Amino acid sequence: MPIKTQSLDATSDGIAAAADILRAGGLVGFPTETVYGLGGDARNDTAVARIFEAKARPQFNPLIVHVPDLQTAQSYAAFNDQALALAAAFWPGPLTLVLPLNPDAGLSPLVTAGLDTVAIRVPAHPTARALLRAFGGPLAAPSANPSGRISPTRADHVHAGLSGRIEGVLDDGPCVVGVESTILGLDGAPTLLRPGGLPHEAIEAALGIPLSLGGDSNKPTAPGQLASHYAPNAGVRLAVTTPQHQEVWVGFGPDCQGAPLTLSPSGDLIEAAANLFHTLRLADALAAQTGQGGIAFAPIPETGLGRAINDRLRRAAAPRD
């Protein structure tokens, strides 16, 4: 039987109601600076299992644990000097660290997909932080959308994908960053597992060393590594300067006159990241309305946030099962 999904405002009463839902083992979509997350008590096996069920997410794909501060994070994961330095530099913010799991962490094994590491971060969004404080525990929170589909950056995106499957959605407007957090593996040499809202160049500058590249789409060690992900209904082509007649063209920069949609008319990567998933939804809807054959994205530079944008677009364009 479908669940009645409540719409909750980001007021003290709405946050308190969301925390009550979470304490009862329910699920709540909530805003972070990156995308909306689907929160459940990371210590509660049933709540975490319901996250996988609501999203139809493969259980071999680990989840990110959200906590309010570094001190809380240290109760779940082992921090070395590099991890402490990065936490001091970039938390709260869009950086997830994959660290050795403390033996007495008390997290559901479903959160870590049975691995001996945990992905953990401290979000910067004030409503996310208020919810974590009100709840008083760690939240497992992947993106609040059906698995493999376009990530949500607004509350109505969450309702569109998950209404009837979760108890509530806490609405605090559009997300500022617009792409998921950068994931860095620190259980060995620093390894970029997923580009995201914190440019990898900033991490390299903080550590003083280049990052290794990692990630396995067949056996993920962190979220966001599946080959096909963020997929609209329409097919996607990338780096298109001349779209085909039957394609919806999404521009970037001033050289895309005639494009009905754009990630950033000025070519600003911060603006493009914030607009990415909402624009992908608009393009998908336009392709369906007009009967056009697909979506074509203009080239995006592979620097700064462009690396995260291109990562999401490559997964959106990947062959689907």
**Encoded tokens for 185:** 């593996």
Per residue in 26-50, pLDDT tens? Answer: 999 999 999 999 999 999 999 999 9
pTM above the 0.85 mark? Answer: yes
The residue extents of the domains of the chain are: 6-213, 235-317
Beta carbons of 231 and 316 less than 8 angstroms apart: yes
Dihedral-angle region of residue 120 (phi above 0 means left; psi in -120 to 50 means alpha; beta otherwise): beta
Q: Provide the strand spans (E) within 133-172.
A: 139-140, 168-171
pLDDT digits (tens, 9 = 90+) for 71-95: 999 999 999 999 999 999 999 999 9
Residue type, 159: H
Mean pLDDT of the chain: 93
Q: Which residue has the higher pLDDT, 271 or 187?
A: 271
Higher pLDDT, 146 or 2: 146
**Per mean pLDDT, which range of 48-52, 159-163, 316-320 is the poorest?**
316-320
Q: Give the number of other CB atoms < 10 A from CB of residue 260.
A: 12
Residues in the chain: 321
Provide the CATH number for the domain formed by 6-213 in this structure.
Answer: 3.90.870.10
Q: Give the lowest-confidence range in 33-37, 288-292, 311-315.
A: 288-292
Contact of 193 with 171, CB cutoff 8 Å:
no
